[in-house]
Amino acid sequence: MGNEAANWAYAEDFLVEDRVILSARDAADELGCVPVLPGAGQALQVLARALDARHVVEIGTGAGVSTTYLLRGMNPAGVITTIDREAEHHKAARRTLADAGFAPERARMITGRALEVLPRLTDGGYDLVLIDARKVEYPMYLEHALRLLRPGGMVAIDNALWHGRVPDPAQRDEETTAVRMTLKAIREDESLTTVLLTAGDGLCVAMTAR
């Protein structure tokens, strides 16, 4: 293992995940959904804490791994709106959040296609939006996220490196291209303050102007 890979592995293992998160990862494996990696999850918790986030949108619930990380960082009165196409994912996520000690009203779970649900959410009403669903729809998720954010709000994009495919110009499949397009749109938007982190599978974070 080279220094770069060793550094990444050390950072991912820096904080040990607890039983709740590990159980949720097992549930995700059974459902065939891929949750955020530890480094990205911990970064999301810190971002939610830094924002004192009260209103968060999560695009892609899975078994509730990232949902739990976000709620642990959010204001104790905060509510997360989390969207997923699969009702079974929401059932698993509800078990995860109950196991983590969160009251049911802390999470508003909406089952459906994100691109059909997002237009119904309030413009400028959210502190943080996490994008972690269908990669080919990332550019469209970003458009909605920027509309939904309050001034000084943040959008976070998981899988921003997409298993090392995004930095490799030889990789031109539809999913990789869509993630690249999303990052390009963020990079070229002068109203955003942006960082691309190597945490997890890559986490791009952009803050809107205050």
* pLDDT number for residue 3: 87
User: Domain of 121?
Assistant: 3-207
Are 201 and 165 spatial neighbours (Cβ–Cβ below 8 Å)? no
Find where tokens 């607890």 sit.
Answer: 18
Identify the CATH number of the domain in which residue 121 sits. 3.40.50.150
* C-alpha torsion 156→162→166→167, nearest 10: 100
What would you report as the CA-atom Rg of the chain, rounded to the nearest whole angstrom? 16
Regarding pTM above 0.75, the answer is yes
Q: Are strands 203-207 and 193-197 parallel, antiparallel or unpaired?
A: antiparallel
Task: Tell me the one-letter amino acid at 45.
Answer: Q
Are 91 and 117 spatial neighbours (Cβ–Cβ below 8 Å)? no
Number of domains comprising the chain: 1
Are 192 and 154 spatial neighbours (Cβ–Cβ below 8 Å)? no
* pLDDT number for residue 1: 52
Tens digit of pLDDT at every position of the chain (210 positions): 578 899 999 999 999 999 999 999 999 999 999 999 999 999 999 999 999 999 999 999 999 999 999 999 999 999 999 999 999 999 999 999 999 999 999 999 999 999 999 999 999 999 999 999 999 999 999 999 999 999 999 999 999 999 999 999 999 999 999 999 999 999 999 999 999 999 999 999 999 999
